[in-house]
Amino acid sequence: MVMNFGTSAIPLDMAGTISDNSLVLLITLAVGILLIVLFTLINVLDKYRHRIKLDELQAKQEKLQRYANYQKRRSLRDAISMLNPEERAQLYSIWEDNSVVSRKALFKLNELEDRLRRAERGAELKWAEGRINDIRDTEKKLFPEAFPLKGRTKK
């Protein structure tokens, strides 16, 4: 049976075919979305696994670096014991001088910081006092009755 709508004719059997094709299309689309989600999930899990391995390798690298630094300090300590007493005394005196200079420099830096902080606070105090005096003078001009004059009596 064929229905005529103006110039085009659509067989009634075609409506069933379209719904069958749309069902296949929807199933294909759902399977495609499912595959995309599955591959994305696999990719995320793979990245996570590789990140864990990378973190483990970085931890091992840091551990080896600490051990290398320890060995370096140990070899330097052992090298000092191989020096003769005069060389060792000279090296110890340099270390002592360095520590004295470091302490003096630290003391001067602390003193400088404290003096700067005191100067900043003093400048802030002077500025605040000036602002308060300016406001007080303005208040006296605006509200003379609130500030009785000393030594003068009211008429």
Give me the percent of the chain exceeding a pLDDT of 90: 57
Per-residue pLDDT at 89 exceeds 80: yes
What is the per-residue pLDDT across 64-81, written as a single tens digit (0 to 9) for each? Answer: 999 999 988 887 777 766
* Cβ-contact 127, 119 below 8 angstroms: no
pTM listed for this prediction: 0.36
Which pLDDT belongs to residue 148?
Answer: 79
What pLDDT sits at residue 85? 85
> What are the sequence ranges of the domains in the chain?
16-82, 85-147
